[in-house]
Structure 1
Amino acid sequence: MKKIAFTLLMLLTTLNIFAQENNVEMADAMRSDGKIYVVVAVILIILFGLLFYLFALDRRLKMLEKKSSAKN
């Protein structure tokens, strides 16, 4: 019961945070200059690169696991 009450309290706290006004001058300036799209593109490239690396690593690990289980 305490865990549920604590979770609800935390959810209500975050709702209060999201209700505040978001006026970030730097983001507004980047959006008006069109530079925000460059930032988003760079973040997406990094994210896709990390995902590709993780999938390639997973594939290599599966191959190594198959080789080690075949030897035993």
Structure 2
Amino acid sequence: MKKYIFSLFMALISFAGQAQAQVEMADQFRADGKIYVVIAVVAIILTGIFIYLFRLDRKITDLEKRIK
């Protein structure tokens, strides 16, 4: 358990370090107002993935109940 928490903590620290760098493309998107389109597309994709995983989990649970 401690290894898992330590690994998660180290991963978060590395992401925070990378987030500090300046990204010119993101600045340009922000200036043009297109960053909202990018955020919306990413949100739609993530929502679709979560819905797919939730439905898949329900189907697997039903199959496990049928086996027992």
Same fold (TM over 0.5): yes
In the alignment, which residue of structure 2 is the partner of 1:42?
Answer: 41
> Any idea what the Cα deviations from partners look like across 1:23-58, whole Å, max 9, x if unmatched?
322111100111111011111111010000000000
For these two proteins, the number of residue pairs brought into alignment is 58
* Greater relative CO (CA pairs within 8 A, separation 6+): 2
What's the TM-score once normalised by structure 1's chain length? Answer: 0.65
Unaligned runs of 5+ in 2: none
Runs of 4+ in 1 over 4 A off after TM superposition: none
- Range with greater deviation from structure 2 (41-50 or 22-31): 22-31
Query: Bigger radius of gyration, 1 or 2?
Result: 1
> Aligned-pair RMSD on alpha carbons?
2.8
Unaligned runs of 5+ in 1: none
TM superposition shift of 1:65: 0.6
Question: Alignment identity in percent?
Answer: 52
